[in-house]
Structure 1
Amino acid sequence: MTYLSPLGYLLGLEGAALLRGFREGSADRAFVEARTAEIRRLLDTPGLADAEGVTAEPGTISTADVYQDWAPHYDTLGNTMIDIEQPIVQRILDGLPVGAALDAACGTGRHTAYLHRLGHRVTGCDASPDMLARARERLPDVDLREADLRQLPLPDDAVDTVVCALALAHVPDLTAVLAEFARVLRPGGHLVISDAHVMVSYLRPTLPRRPGPDGRPTLLTEYHRPLSAYLAAALPLGFQVRHCEEPRRPRHSLDPGAAPDPLPTHMSWDLQHWCPEASAAALDESPVVVIWHFQLEDCKSEDSRSEEE
């Protein structure tokens, strides 16, 4: 069970701001004294210390349940992670040969649509029928299939490019999924992955969702990984790294002089307005996503070069 309290989250932001300031050399005396004073103010704020937190049980809501709720609004929700990730993924795709492509965990089809515009013969797959329904509305002429990442509905050596965006944090076994990508890719094919950065899980923790079967709030189980985990899964399968990027959250514009939101009664990322300077110091320019470009080694080409030598 995890207990999430508004006061605890705010104190965590203050602590993260201090630790980051110490590490990066930006925590001068005025900054440290401001954080200390703000911590005292938060502790003394009437009602905040007594604001009821939420006890949530991890793992009692599924990814399918979450995306069922998200699907009707997914394309209209503001999502900083997508805003940061999408241009970089598209820039990588712009440099790849046009051919057969798979958008694995395609969601509502944002990368599927881009691949299609580039001229690829695209297949999209997703485990959420609700997200796929939105993709079919957007792309009625594209082959879209309901499928799990661990069992892709394609034969061996079927595609030249695989894209998998912001989905692997929902997968417990990374190696099994990357092995499926290697299976459907042709030798020399390209794999472009984006995923939530492990730092996000510390600075913006998963929030509780609707009550689970027992009536209690629940937390979606997510798997946030260090960068070494992707390499440990990919390299033994014959993938070679072509590019890796860790784009950062831009500086945001919370006004230190603005009145905070009403006294919080539940966990919300909007709590950052209660300590805007600490929030900026803790969160600004921190990694948001990791983006990998792998290429599957071409054994035939290697054999040909060996014979020529």
Structure 2
Amino acid sequence: MSIKKAYNDWAEGYDINSNKTIDLDKKASMETLRNFNFSKVIELGCGTGKNTAFLLEKADEIIALDFSENMLAKAKEKIKDERVVFKKRDITTSWNIKNDFADLVTCSLILEHIKDLNLVFKQVSETLKNDGIFFVSELHPFKQYSGSKARYETEEGTQELETHVHHISEYIAVAEKNGLKLMELKEWFDEDNKSEIPRLIGLVFQN
């Protein structure tokens, strides 16, 4: 199943079904981004707008991108705020956003679906202002090594999505290649149980 079709199918139950990874991502995103000031935001892979609402607590303008029309439809149903513009985009192609636009670019749980990270990080660097922040929240590669990947439940059973493993060193290297400096790296654990494999990794880069 293509990634786009999978997310279109997942959209109906995305906000309803229990999912530890999605729930922890929201916590990680909120706790990390509350430490930064931002006005103009690019949200990559906004999905159903689960993180868009808290970004609006600080942002004056958000451009929220996703390639799934069904996910975007759900987001538009929930969030009716003139400060947000939802756009259908495949983020591995041109975003059509002017350079030096954003104080913050943020993405959650999408980079595992992208083989070539350079295509994304290059546009992040171009669209961020000087000293702007790029926040990445992703399934921890340790989880991927153990066989975890994005999945959702349907009446026909569990559907697993096509994914790519990106090592921590790869994130840092591709960021440096595009002029982004690592500011923060944090591992996020289920119920803060640090005796288990961390579920998520959070990375903050500065342009």
The TM tier, using the shorter chain, reads 0.7 to 0.9
Equivalent in the alignment of 1:148: 90
Distance in 1 separating the partners of 2:69 and 2:100: 26
Is 2:153 the partner of 1:242?
Answer: no
Distance in 2 separating the partners of 1:124 and 1:209: 23
CA RMSD of aligned residues (A): 2.4
Offset of 1:121 from its aligned partner?
A: 1.3
Deviations along 1:120-144, one digit per CA (max 9) or x if unpaired, are 3111010111100011011122210
Shift in CA distance, 246/72, structure 1 to aligned 2, threshold 3 Å: same
Offset of 1:117 from its aligned partner?
A: 2.0
Offset of 1:152 from its aligned partner?
A: 1.2
Shift in CA distance, 208/191, structure 1 to aligned 2, threshold 3 Å: closer
Return the letter of the residue paired with 1:242.
M
Offset of 1:208 from its aligned partner?
A: 8.8
Is 2:111 the partner of 1:171?
Answer: no
Offset of 1:153 from its aligned partner?
A: 2.8
Deviations along 1:57-92, one digit per CA (max 9) or x if unpaired, are xxxx21111111110010011111122222222122
Distance in 1 separating the partners of 2:121 and 2:80: 28
Number of equivalences: 200
Residues 150 and 163 of structure 2 are in contact (CA less than 8 Å); yes or no, is this contact kept in structure 1? no
Residues 156 and 183 of structure 1 are in contact (CA less than 8 Å); yes or no, is this contact kept in structure 2? yes
Equivalent in the alignment of 1:33: none
Deviations along 1:245-289, one digit per CA (max 9) or x if unpaired, are 11123389xxxxxxxxxxxxxxxxxxxxxxxxxxxxxx9621111
Higher relative contact order (CA 8 A, sep 6+): 1
Distance in 2 separating the partners of 1:159 and 1:208: 31
Shift in CA distance, 209/196, structure 1 to aligned 2, threshold 3 Å: closer
Residues 207 and 219 of structure 1 are in contact (CA less than 8 Å); yes or no, is this contact kept in structure 2? yes
Q: Sequence identity, in percent?
A: 27
Residue of 90, 95, 104 corresponding to 1:161: 104
Offset of 1:209 from its aligned partner?
A: 8.9
Return the letter of the residue paired with 2:86.
L
Structure 1 gap ranges (5+): 1-60, 211-216, 253-282, 297-309
Equivalent in the alignment of 2:78: 138
Is 2:47 the partner of 1:92?
Answer: no
* Rg larger in structure: 1
Equivalent in the alignment of 1:224: 165
Distance in 1 separating the partners of 2:150 and 2:58: 37
Match runs of 1:26-175 below 5 Å:
61-141=1-81, 142-150=84-92, 151-175=94-118
Offset of 1:220 from its aligned partner?
A: 3.1
Larger fraction in helix: 1
Shift in CA distance, 180/104, structure 1 to aligned 2, threshold 3 Å: same
User: TM-score, length-normalised on structure 2?
Assistant: 0.88
Return the letter of the residue paired with 1:107.
G
Shift in CA distance, 209/149, structure 1 to aligned 2, threshold 3 Å: same
Larger fraction in strand: 2
Is 2:183 the partner of 1:286?
Answer: no
